[in-house]
Amino acid sequence: MQKIFVGNKPIILTTQVEKETDFKNLLIDSVSIEKILS
C-alpha cells in the first residue's frame, strides 16, 4: 500500500480492496494517474 498526497488530498494506492476510509482507495492495476490529477 502506498499513500501519496496530491496537493492536500491523500490518495491510497493498494493492491487489495479495503473497507471505506477517509481516503480514496484505488487499485494500482486500474488507476490512471492522469485521471486522478485532473
Residue at grid coordinates 502506498 = 2
CB-based contacts of 5, cutoff 8 Å, min separation 6: 11
The per-residue pLDDT string of the chain (38 residues; one tens digit each, 9 = 90 and over) reads 677 787 777 777 776 665 555 556 566 655 666 666 66
pTM of the model as a whole:
0.28
Cell 471505506 belongs to residue: 20
